[in-house]
Amino acid sequence: MVTKKKLFALRDKKKFGFTIPLSDIITIGKREYEIKIKEDEKHGTYILWKNRRYPVEIIQNKQNKYEIIFNDIGYNFTVETPFSLKRKQVLSKSKGKRVKEKIVSPMPGKIIEVLVREGSDISRGEPVLILEAMKMQNEIQSSVDGVIETVNIKPNMNVMKDDLLVEIKIK
C-alpha cells in the first residue's frame, strides 16, 4: 500500500498543492489540472500537459528550497508539509513582534571561524559562523534578515550548548 503525503509548493506567497507520490492531478489555487511527469533519454525530464512537453531541470536544491528551470523560465520555491506551512503562517504573523533574534549554540564545540561583524547586514540563510563539534564543522546560519548587533564569540573559543553566540536586530 502506497501512503500519500500532501505537500505544498510556495512561490511569491502563492500556494500550489500536490501529493507524493505525484499523481496525474495537480491543484493550483482551487483548480485541478491533469499532468504527467515523464523522463526519457531524448528529452530529459518534462511535464506533459495538454499534449505539450514542458522541460524541467532542477538547478539547485537546499533543504526544502528549490531553483528550477521550467519551460526555459527560472523559478524559486519552497516545498512545505501541512505542519511546516502552518508553522510558517504563525511565524509570519508574529514576525513584526520580535525585535531581536538570538543565535545560541546548538551543541558544545569550538568556534572555528566567525563570518560576520557587528553592524553588518545579514540575510536569512547566510552563514554566521563555523562551529566544530565531534570533529565535524557545522555552518550556523541566520534565521532572519537583519543587522548583526553583538558578536559574543571569537575564533578558537569553546562554547557550551545554548551559549549566546550572536544577536541580530531584525529588519
Q: How crowded is residue 142: how many other Cβ atoms within 10 Å of its Cβ?
A: 19
Q: What is the pLDDT of residue 162?
A: 92
Q: CA 156, CA 65: separation in Å to the nearest integer?
A: 32
Q: What is the pLDDT of residue 148?
A: 95
Cis peptide, bond prior to residue 21, ω within 30 of zero: yes
Q: What is the pLDDT of residue 103?
A: 94
Q: What is the pLDDT of residue 160?
A: 94
Domains of the chain: 5-87 (no CATH), 98-170 (2.40.50.100)
101-124 burial: b if 16+ Cβ within 10 Å, else e: bebebeeebebeebebeeeeebee
Q: Which residues make Cβ contacts (< 8 Å) with residue 70, sequence separation at least 6?
A: 47, 54, 55, 56
CA distances from 12 to 73, 100, 110 (A): 15, 25, 39
Q: What is the pLDDT of residue 169?
A: 93
Global pTM value? 0.46
Element holding 34 (H helix, E strand): strand 31-34
Q: What is the pLDDT of residue 130?
A: 95
Q: In which residue ranges of the chain is pLDDT below 50?
A: none
